[in-house]
Amino acid sequence: MAEREVFWNISNHWLFYFLSAVAMLIFIGGCYRNIYTWFKGWPFEGRPDAGAVVGALVKNVFGNAKIFLDDIFGGLTHVFIMWGFFVLFVGTAMSAFDDYIVHYLRGGVYKAYALSLDIFGLVFVAGVIMAVIRRYVIKAGKMNNRSEDIIVLLLLAAIGITGFLIEGFRFVAQPPPWMNWSPVGAVLAGVLGGKATVWHVTAWWVHVGLSLFLIGYLPFSKLFHVIAGAVNVALETMPPDVLTLEEREKIEEEFSRRHIIAGDACTRCNRCETKCPSNLSGEALSPRAMNQRIKDYVKEKYSISRMVQVMLKKEVPEMSREGVFKGEEAWMCTTCRACVEECPLSIDNLDIIRGMRGLKVEEGTEVPAMVGDTLESIFKYGNPYQGQKNKRAEWAKELGLKDIAKGETAELLYFVGCGASYDDRLQKIAQSAVGVFKKVGLDVGILGNKESCCGDPAKRLGEDGLLEEVISKNYELFEQYGIRDMVMTCPHGLKMFREEYPRYQKKLEIETEGTVNPQHYTELLARMLTEGKLKFSKELGKRVTYHDPCYLGRHLGIYEAPREILKAIPGVEFVEMKRNRRNSLCCGGGGGRLWMEEFEAREKISEMRARDAAEVNAQVLVTCCPFCMSMMEDAVKTAGYEDAIEVKDLLELIEGLL
Ligand code: SF4
Ligand code: SF4
């Protein structure tokens, strides 16, 4: 009957058990050390929802779904290695169970088992070869190579190949009648020869030695992502932590548990960097490098040698955070979320960078002067534009709009936002919004001079105290005037009201009688279009492309509503830019960068985006975010496309066509 003796031709079993015990001890010690450092971060609140965690694990861990996005070869490489290794590992465990507990691998079961292991063994070796080609021949994605990368790949390849050699030499020495159920071993037996029993025992010990080395090495290498990555994917089903100023002042930890786990989860695959607009423009920011610097700092701070020195009460020098902290990179982030979208393990580098900004603001170190001025302006005037409070509604004075703060009533509040209130160019968006709302029959009012900043710049720039004050005041204002339904032209404000405010409301225990329901005008108009309430009466006759604002698209998932409206305009020739939807390139103005000096770069981010529009011969570049409008209108001029491309907000485009 088909079966296999596990320790055939192998003596000195005690050595195998001894080495296994050593490897397991090192593995457990390494995992303990890593997980110990996780608990050196501040704790997260709440628990992930079990259903969401299972869904995320199935999709992004077992299914490798995000690895396949825009990179089929990379996805296949990882799937082959991961699933090949997993099946071989399970096969080894089954063999141990068969040998020590119940002998069930016999006859047909054994044949199916042997065939499966050979197939998945081949898949595994093929995956490792593909990884070598991808990393060192094709050099996909500007991968950040370290010596551990080649060590890991050679180790995996050697384990796979020696596994097959053991099988081949065993068949040479003692061919069983069922050996064709192990086709790779059978083929190898046809080409191998010599002193098969000697070669078999040599290959066996090499295979076992390398496998045990891999087990011990795993927690100290990037292979630890098999554990930390799954934990990170599970945690990322929860919204980012909200740390109030009061909490921040009490805690001693510098980073959150989630940030530290993210460092261990990161495989340095560099996908984040290849999509980061700042990095693409030649600026110094690398989300991968920043994440890894935090990891190295935390690991050093809680290294075994430092801990032993503390235990022996020796003088231990203070750890300097300068290596993690120094430099302007944290300010270069546009908070576009491209890195989060791209990361196979959903690492939220954006939240990590925001945490770093928070520490810088708290310590007052390396905060650009203009950031300080912007935050001060919000504190003093309720807007980042240094605009007087009593001038906020000037843009609307000829429009006969209802002012809810003066006691007039309207079904819908138009929350204008700071840009469209104070910036001369952006005021035109607000004026077009009012024109469109009137034409489609919406009953809209504003809060006039009572309106104040939504807090987006304070949130993105890491000023928690100011942010909390802004949020509390806005809740008071909404309660005072009974604001419930709100339409907005600014996606940054929408993100604040839709996602951030409810989180802070809970944390700051702000009591309100009702909830605010904010929506972007594209959501509202797309709905009206479906209901037949938005109708166009004129043709445009132009080639139009659409720039996805990061806060509307990647942050809030609104990709289709603006496109539906655009495509419904008669005479529009709609064309997508190469980078669109989740792959869209940021305009460079988010994350407070609108109020910062330019950083040293090869090219401006906004000019790269203008080139995207020029490449598809667009006559009109449409967006629906005031920040994008500011950035892109400048960029088409400075990049030399002024005569070819007009930049318009969608509202400005449709106002004259209704
Ligand atoms: S953060 Fe994610 S995308 Fe970036 S290098 Fe690490 S694993 Fe790759
Ligand atoms: S959020 Fe955008 S700009 Fe910031 S690090 Fe990620 S990809 Fe780069």
Q: What is the pLDDT of residues 358-390, one digit of tens each?
A: 888 888 888 999 999 999 999 999 999 999 999
Q: What confidence tens digit (pLDDT) does each residue in 461-482 have?
A: 999 999 999 999 999 999 999 9
State residue 70's pLDDT score: 84
Tokens read off for 461: 């720039």
| Cβ atoms of residues 88 and 121 within 8 Å | yes
User: Which alpha helices (H) appear in 302-348, and where do they start and end?
Assistant: 304-311, 322-325, 329-332, 338-342
CA of 295 to the centre of ligand 1 (A): 13
Instruction: Tell me the ligand closest to 333's alpha carbon.
Output: 2
Q: Is 337 in the pocket of ligand 2 (CB under 6 A)?
A: yes
CA distance to 122, 318, 644, 653, 657, per residue, from 612 (Å) = 43, 49, 13, 20, 26
Q: Which of 345, 348, 351, 353 to mutate to test the pocket of ligand 1 (most atoms within 8 A of CB)?
A: 345
Which amino acid would we find at residue 646?
Answer: E
Which position has the higher pLDDT, 310 or 637? 637
| Cβ atoms of residues 401 and 446 within 8 Å | yes
Q: Which of 272, 274, 328, 333 to mutate to test the pocket of ligand 2 (most atoms within 8 A of CB)?
A: 333
Q: How far apart are CA 233 and CA 57, in angstroms?
A: 7
pLDDT at 72 over 90: yes
Instruction: Tell me the ligand closest to 281's alpha carbon.
Output: 2
User: Is pTM, for the whole model, over 0.85?
Assistant: yes
CA of 332 to the centre of ligand 1 (A): 18
Could you state, in order of their start, the residue ranges of all structural domains in the chain? Answer: 48-211, 239-363, 388-527, 536-655
Q: How confident is residue 98, by pLDDT bands cut at 50, 70 and 90?
A: very high
Alpha-carbon dihedral of residues 134, 137, 139, 140, nearest 10 degrees? -40
CA of 613 to the centre of ligand 2 (A): 21
Q: What confidence tens digit (pLDDT) does each residue in 4-41 have?
A: 888 999 999 999 999 999 999 999 999 999 999 999 99
Assigned fold of 239-363: Fumarate Reductase Iron-sulfur Protein; Chain B, domain 2 (1.10.1060)
pLDDT at 101 over 80: yes
Q: What are phi and psi of 572, to 5 degrees?
A: -95, 130
Q: Is 352 in the pocket of ligand 2 (CB under 6 A)?
A: no
Q: Which of 288, 342, 348 to mutate to test the pocket of ligand 1 (most atoms within 8 A of CB)?
A: 288
pLDDT average, residue stretch 432-454: 97
Q: How far apart are CA 28 and CA 388, in angstroms?
A: 62
Q: How far apart are CA 26 and CA 426, in angstroms?
A: 61
Report, in this order, helix, strand and coil percent for the chain, each rounded to 5.
60, 5, 35
pLDDT at 250 over 90: no
Q: Is 589 in the pocket of ligand 2 (CB under 6 A)?
A: no
pLDDT at 318 over 80: no
Q: How confident is residue 605, by pLDDT bands cut at 50, 70 and 90?
A: very high
Domain covering 536-655: architecture: 3-Layer(aba) Sandwich (3.40)
CA of 262 to the centre of ligand 1 (A): 9
pLDDT at 317 over 80: no
pLDDT above 90: percentage of residues in the chain: 85
**Which residues surround ligand 1 with Cβ inside 6 Å?**
266-272, 287-288, 291, 342-343, 345, 347, 349
Q: What confidence tens digit (pLDDT) does each residue in 183-230 have?
A: 999 999 999 988 899 999 999 999 999 999 999 999 999 999 999 999
Instruction: Tell me the ligand closest to 350's alpha carbon.
Output: 2
CA of 635 to the centre of ligand 1 (A): 30
